[in-house]
Amino acid sequence: MNSYTEENYLKAIYHLSLTNDKSVTTNSIAAAMSTKAASVTDMLKKLAEKKLINYERYQGVSLTAEGKTIAIKIVRKHRLWEFFLVEKLQFKWDEVHELAEELEHIKSAELIERLDKFLGFPKYDPHGDPIPDVNGRFNINELKPVSTLLVNDGGIIMGVREHLPQFLQYLEKMRLIIGNKITVTDIAAYDQSVQLKLNDNETVNISRDVAKNILVKYD
């Protein structure tokens, strides 16, 4: 049995590994966990003793097969709970992350499989992130950030890279939500800010940073 903290570390290492070709560093884990590097080192030693990670000091960290399996199960539970909270309890997409952080540590596999069935086996959470199935397989969409599109390119908003509530609230205010179609109508030469046309021909302007964090399925 792993503690909540151990599970959180495994999940953090898993997420960091998705954007890292090499081993995950202690400092990057410390930043993700909002803690000190010394505390991270202590936890990594415990996880290595349990054979959940491969760890050598100054050489970085990677998950073992067992560690990765556990991490993906936590991700699965988190995203299913987010879907449930939004679709069944009418929470907004910016309100569910912290709640799902608590619910993801429920141990009952039977509960999670019944939840998945009750929800109709959803493939994506409210933020567009793929929900792994019971065998840990992901249904991956090839998504592109809006920042990579050219003028007259367009697509359907299918996900976001940033899950901070303030960012999600901003997107909702701008009507840049999952399922809406956008077309790039202009890119400013000065700062690369992007002008978009929405489904109903409404025009909105967003910064380059925002454009990097909105993911679309290309038309």
Helices 109-118, 65-87: inter-axial angle, 10-degree rounding:
40
Question: What CATH number matches the domain at 4-63, 2.30.30.280, 1.10.3720.10, 1.10.10.10, 3.40.50.10240?
Answer: 1.10.10.10
- Encode pLDDT of 107-139 as tens digits: 999 999 999 999 999 999 999 999 999 999 998
The pLDDT of residue 71: 97
Q: How far is it, in rounded angstroms, from Cα 2 to Cα 69?
A: 13
In sequence order, the 6+-apart residues with CB closer than 8 A to the CB of 213 are 145, 160, 161, 162, 167
Query: Could you tell me the residue ranges of all domains in the chain?
Result: 4-63, 144-218
Helices 26-33, 4-18: inter-axial angle, 10-degree rounding:
120
Q: Give the Cβ contact number of residue 45 at 10 Å.
A: 13
**7-16, 49-58, 163-172: least confidently modelled range:** 49-58
- Encode pLDDT of 45-84 as tens digits: 999 999 999 998 878 899 999 999 999 999 999 999 999 9
SS3 158: strand
CATH architecture assigned to 144-218: Roll (2.30)
The pLDDT of residue 21: 64
**Residue 130 has what DSSP assignment?**
B
Residue 103 has pLDDT above 90, yes or no: yes
pLDDT band at 182 (very low <50, low <70, confident <90, very high): very high
Statement: the pTM of the whole predicted model exceeds 0.75: yes
27, containing H or E segment: helix 26-33
- Closest to 145 measured CA to CA, from 100, 212, 53: 212
